[in-house]
Chains A and B, each alone.
Chain A
Amino acid sequence: MTRHYSALSLLKEGFNNQQGWVKAWENPRPKPRYDIVIIGGGGHGLATAYYLAKTHGITNVAVIEKGWLGGGNTGRNTTVVRSNYFFPESVRLYDLALKLYEGLSRELNYNIMLSQRGMISLAHTPAEMEMSARVVNAMQINGTDAELFGPEDVRRVLPIYNFGPKARYPALGGVWQGRSGTARHDAVAWGYARAASRLGVDIIQQCEVQDFIIEGGRCRGVVTSHGTIRADRVGMAVAGHSSQMSAKAGFRLPIVSYALQACVSEPVKPVLDTIVLSPGAGTYASQSDKGEMVVGGGLDRIPSYGQRGNLPVLETVVSGLVEMFPSFRQLKLMRHWAGIVDVVPDSSPIIGESPLPGLFLNCGWGTGGFKSIPAGGTLLAHLLATGTHHDISRPFDLDRFARGRLIDEAAGSGIAH
């Protein structure tokens, strides 16, 4: 039986008619009790399970997923990973994620196809250039890599951009982060699931959490469609539906759920080898390994749980894209979809113990959940294992709203989520 993925095992299995591969993860029936139960089998939930087993040695853990692994926002995002934020707290958080991503394929023995192709956040006006310089300074002081690009640099990394004299979005420069990139989103979920399952974690799919077991004012487990599961501590990573889960536990969250859209074009020859974001045009794009243009933009402005987008936002996104890249006008869009994201007033995540003791939160990532999966998993695992905050997650506790200590990245780095 072949368990390890390598060129050698591929060769070996080639001679064996590919019959010897071990299943990537087990599909067990839930036990009546675990040390820790994690609700949500997306990237964050699976990463939490992996780090609980790997870092803290706690393997009596179950991940409970109502659908299938990575079927929510983990499989719906545009696969960008980056850490170009403004406040020191945010940079520590997202840079932890990016650093873990950089070693993840090797650590998990699963190719997440990380491609650090660099990302340019374009500035189209002198005022935006000044903001870009401010963000670059902040990022450099915070110890992450950032470079202020001028018009010539943009011409170098985006030769197909519309540099014409009548261009609606002239490229004056922007913020460049060379370590930004893309990763295969399904592979991140599957890689963590396989590694966690191998360390003894139970991954239970098609099992919906219907309620919490609350005894003596503490969360003691969950009631699921497969029966009652007791646990000492429960973590939830259910982006998009965080408010639904918290309502079952008897509290509200500072979250509104919105749809975030994305679309892909037909595949074409390689033409765009960086990630380009234009806050001014409300568009960002990268080219996938298959050759498709992966395109996204801002949130729909109407709170929604319907996993589909509406047309005004798509029109803004596409019109911005074809204005910046006139050659894209002939592309046909192949697919168009939306995920439901947790939007928090200060555009920063919520990580910490909930108002119901024993229940721990990992939510509120807005449009930036995918890039933060390794950090969200590390920090929630730390909370679940020790009951106390990791230094990096402390500023992101739910108590920041009553303390007035918000980390407003919408104002700081101009990140929309």
Chain B
Amino acid sequence: MQIFSCPFCGPRPEYEFHFGGDLGNHRPEGADVSPEVWAQYLHFRNNPKGIAQEIWLHMTCGEIFAMQRDTVSMAAEPGQPLIPEETRP
């Protein structure tokens, strides 16, 4: 059992978490986005071997956060909030 660290709940077992894709994969804006750009956003992934910057969802608390992970050794850094605490409204 691997333990991931939710920035809001602390260390929790891996089955409470869901992978959410690459960090920094932002939705294309505007009315004239080409199908190729949409496909890149929706389906294409970095899928790095080694250090990966990822988005994860902690399903039990519902928070979405950033996590750095090694996809070979599986070592995971503690999750980071996407918006720093002090700048939250």
What is the 8 Å Cβ interface bit string for chain A, positions 373-417, against chain B (1 contact, 0 not)? 000000000000000000000000000011110000000000000
Interface residue ranges of B1-58 to A (CB < 8 Å): 1-2, 13-15, 18-19, 35-36, 38-40, 42-50, 52, 54
How would you classify the secondary structure of chain A's contact residues: helix, strand, loop or mixed?
mixed
**Interface range, A side:** 20 to 34
Chain B residue at minimal CB-CB distance from A301: B19
Chain B residue numbers with a CB within 8 Å of A255 are 45, 47
Do B45 and A402 touch across chains, with their CB atoms under 8 A apart?
A: no
- B19: chain A residues within 8 A (beta carbon): 256, 301-303
A243 touches B35 (CB 8 A): no
Residues of chain B contacted by A243 (CB below 8 angstroms): 45-49
Q: Which residues of A contact B71 (CB under 8 A)?
A: 257, 303-306
- CA–CA, A253 to B44, complex, Å? 5
Q: Is B60 an interface residue (CB 8 A)?
A: no
Cα separation A303 to B56 with both chains bound (whole Å) = 11
* Minimum CB–CB distance for B58 against chain A, Å: 14
CA distance A302 to B39 in the complex (A): 23
Which residues of chain B have C-beta atoms less than 8 A from A253's C-beta?
A: 44-45, 47
For the complex formed, measure the closest distance between the CB of B38 and the CB atoms of chain A, giving whole angstroms. 7
Q: Is the CB of B38 within 8 A of A402?
A: yes
Please give, as numbers and ranges, the residues of chain B lying within 8 Å of A124 by CB-CB distance. none
A6 CB contacts on chain B under 8 angstroms: none
Given contacts A252-B45, A345-B43, A402-B36, contact A306 B72 (CB under 8 A): yes
Determine if A7 is an interface residue (Cβ-Cβ < 8 Å).
Answer: no
Instruction: Give the distance in Å from the alpha carbon of A310 to the alpha carbon of B73 in the complex.
Output: 12
B83 lies within 8 A of chain A by Cβ: no
Which listed residue (B43, B52, B74) contacts A306, Cβ 8 A? B74
Say yes or no: is A244 at the interface (Cβ < 8 Å to chain B): yes
User: From residue A191, how far is it (CB to closest CB) to chain B in Å?
Assistant: 31
Residues of chain A having any CB pair with chain B under 8 Å: 241, 243-244, 252-257, 301-306, 310-312, 345, 401-404
Could you tell me which B residues sit within 8 Å of A by CB distance?
Answer: 1-2, 13-15, 18-19, 35-36, 38-40, 42-50, 52, 54, 71-74
Give me 17 other A-B pairs in contact (C-beta within 8 A), A253-B45, A305-B72 excluded: A243-B45, A243-B48, A243-B49, A244-B49, A252-B44, A253-B47, A254-B43, A255-B45, A302-B14, A302-B74, A303-B71, A306-B71, A306-B72, A312-B1, A312-B13, A312-B14, A345-B43
